[in-house]
Amino acid sequence: MALVHLGKKSQKKARRPKTSAYLPTTRAEMEARGWAELDILIVNGDAYVDHPAFGGALIGRFLEGRGYRVGMIAQPDWKSPADVSRMGAPRLFVGITAGNLDSMLNKLTAQKKVRQDDQYSPGGKTNMRPNRASVVYGNLCRQAFPGTPIVVGGIEASLRRIAHYDYWSDSIRRSVLLDAKADLLIFGMGERPVWEVADRLAEGEDIKQLRDVRGTAHVLRKGEWEHIATSKFIRDRKPIRLPSYEEIKAAATAGDEGEEARARFSSMSGAFQKETNPGNGRPLIQPHGHEAVYFNPPAEPLTTELMDGLYDLPFTRLPHPSYTDGIPAYETVKHSIVTMRGCFGGCSFCSITEHEGRVIQSRSEESVLREVRSLRRMEGFHGVISDVGGPTANMYQMKCKSERIEKACRRLSCVHPGVCENLVTDHGPLVSLLKKVRKEKGIKKAFIASGVRYDLAERSQEFIDELAAHHTGGQLSVAPEHVDEKVLDKMKKPGAESYERFAEMFDCASEKSGKNQFLVPYYISGHPGSTLNSMIELALYLKKRGLRPRQVQDFIPTPMSMATSMYLTGRDPFSQEDVYTAKDLREKRMQKALLQYWDVKQHDLAREALIKAGRRDLIGSSEKCLVPPARGKGALSIHEKRRRGREDNKPRGRVGKRAGRRGKPKPKR
């Protein structure tokens, strides 16, 4: 089937659409369309924003484009089934997503404190969704619609599809498929699987027959999974058996039993990662008691044609009219454009690869330009596109030089420990696209606010020149993360020298274009492999360069990432070598405080960290020191503390010095 294109209808000047322009959310909106029942109901943990950056809306519009009658219930009351059943039982299935973020990550910080707001809820209100939303919604829908198939998906389900470590409860939890009591789990970007599921159910197949859909997982009952080899889908691909839930559930406990479980957990994490390439990934099976969860290989990535059709769907690009308060996450992305999805970086702390895949899926130039023209007709658009990019903006149209090599490859990263010789790193297509975007009528500025992979960018002076001259608004965010080589290796990030080369090139390009621009570097504290001494090394590096980073992320062990496996087990899941990890919340705070050595409010923790690391020589008033003493000679007076506190709280447009390092020779071009 081809995706539905709306042609001239979508070309009209954008005004506040009528409610009927959205997926129906109430019985009255259904009846306005003349529908007696839905084919598919989507239950969404986020507010309903009809914009392609919001996963629930993206899948809803995709299914609508296939001809299905789709309804949306966003952030339902989870105290009883009444709210979720307001439009009646759907004919085919209920689709459940917790939203654009894991619900626990959305609620709690790295210090396990409740966040002050929810970016995906009206007015930023908290408590608009339950903890472990996929599980709660799944059980709620099972009560509301007995006998109706339930399919759970989205990033929370995707990252919790196997038995996993849950940081917020400090325990090993079962696959979310079992706890949600769903019939199917869709993992990864779900367009292909959900399309096949909908079509096969519409053709009369029972949900229990859908056992060979790529990108899905299902439950095998007692006695069934032992005989799974009879399945025709896997005759040539014997499934890999992962350690059972029972074998790893003690991994978060102390003692010999916990140590054995951690070894199995680490082995499981490494084995799982090796089966994530759609070209060669094998089925997986993981027992949970008398049951087992069976995972089909990942879904094939979308072609350029399917990506184009997806973003041509008739999104209003607005929140549903029923909301009276703004939705903070929408304000960030409403004037942005996605050009690609996926990431082959394989950073061990990141979930993009696990969810979106390693294969880059890019839109065509013309598709992006159509969206630019649609965007400029939106009411309230003043010619500034906030972002042209994706998970990693400068991976647009990058791919392996050979489809055969790509399908056979089992590397987890195309750029670590070095850029693969088979990777085509040509920035030409991206440069061409950016030039055309900014030439479009009514476009004043088109920024790149997505991440830029600097070890790729340094291979293209032309791209850096374009970036500095036309697509940076004074500051450019980049993520060197650390400077310690051992920590960077565990992160699967390039060495500090790569960042410095990029910084020099960006500085030169900014000067050439007559602009005074700055890099805003992101750093992570508390990552596996990072000790107090390695954080001190990073703090000294920053001080030497006059940098005061405000973007410091305290590492959060999100489900299923390689860094989370290291955090839990204390070992690398591939080499099995020991990896130090700060688990104590106070030590995590101390590591973060060292990166904010300049902030008066962090001085006590930073001093504590320096004393614990045996670096009292860095406490004092001399230039080489990181923080002043608490009392005595060189200590800050109360007046000085207040003055510095006021200065630190002032909004700053610039962070640190210019991108390049003064006095060093410029790199050859």
Tell whether 548 is covered by a domain: yes
Give the list of residues 6+ apart from residue 114 with CB closer than 8 angstroms, or none: 107, 108, 126
221 with 294: CB under 8 angstroms? no
The token duo for 135 is 């599980």
Q: Which of 233, 262, 295 is the last residue of a domain?
A: 295
Overall residue count recorded for the chain in this entry: 669
Give the pLDDT confidence of 180-203 residue by residue, as tens digits.
999 999 999 999 999 999 999 999
Q: List the domain range (segments joined by +) for residue 234.
A: 22-295
Share of the chain above pLDDT 70, in %: 90
Residues 6+ apart with CB under 8 A from 386: 332, 333, 334, 335, 336, 447, 449
Count of beta carbons in the 10 Å neighbourhood of residue 6: 11
In a domain, 626, yes or no: yes
End residue of a domain, out of 295, 319, 353 = 295
With respect to residue 50, please indicate whether it lies within any of the assigned structural domains: yes
- Cβ(43)–Cβ(156) under 8 Å? no
Position 637 in a domain: yes
pLDDT for the residue numbered 19: 59
Q: By C-alpha distance, which of 418, 542, 555, 562 is closest to 490?
A: 562
Interaxial angle between packed helices 603-612 and 532-544, expressed in degrees from 0 to 180 and rounded to the nearest 10: 120
The span from the CA of 165 to the CA of 230, in Å, is 32
Q: pTM of the entire structure?
A: 0.90
Q: Among the listed ranges 10-14, 360-364, 458-462, 613-617, which one has the minimum average pLDDT value? A: 10-14
* pLDDT, tens digit, 9 for 90 and up, residues 379-409: 999 999 999 999 999 999 999 999 999 999 9
Phi-psi region of 444 (alpha: psi -120 to 50; beta: other; left: phi over 0): alpha
Angstrom distance (rounded) from CA 436 to CA 432 = 6
In a domain, 444, yes or no: no
What are the φ and ψ backbone dihedral angles of 158, each rounded to 5 degrees?
Answer: -65, -45
Please tell me the distance from the alpha carbon of residue 190 to that of residue 531, in angstroms, as a whole number: 39
Q: Which regions of 428-542 does DSSP assign to beta strands (E)?
A: 445-446, 475-481, 518-525
Q: Which of 351, 258, 293 has the alpha carbon at shortest distance from 174? A: 293
Task: Classify residue 273 as left (phi > 0), alpha (psi -120 to 50) or beta.
Answer: alpha
pLDDT of residue 195: 97
List the structure tokens of 206. Answer: 């029972």
Confidence of residue 610 (pLDDT cuts 50, 70, 90): very high
For residue 13, being part of any structural domain is answered with no
Choose between 354 and 445: higher pLDDT.
Answer: 445
Q: What is the pLDDT of residues 328-339, one digit of tens each?
A: 999 999 999 999
Domain count, the chain: 2
Annotate 140-193 with three-state secondary structure. Answer: HHHHHCCCCCEEEEHHHHHHCCCCEEECCCCEEECCHHHHCCCCEEECCCCHHH
Distance of CA 189 to the CA centre of its chain: 12
Domain assignment present for 148: yes
516, part of any domain: yes
Per-residue pLDDT of 461-477, as tens digits, reads: 999 999 999 999 889 98
Q: How many Cβ atoms from other residues are within 10 Å of residue 364's Cβ?
A: 16
Q: What is the pLDDT of residues 414-425, one digit of tens each?
A: 999 999 999 999
Domain boundary among 295, 314, 336: 295
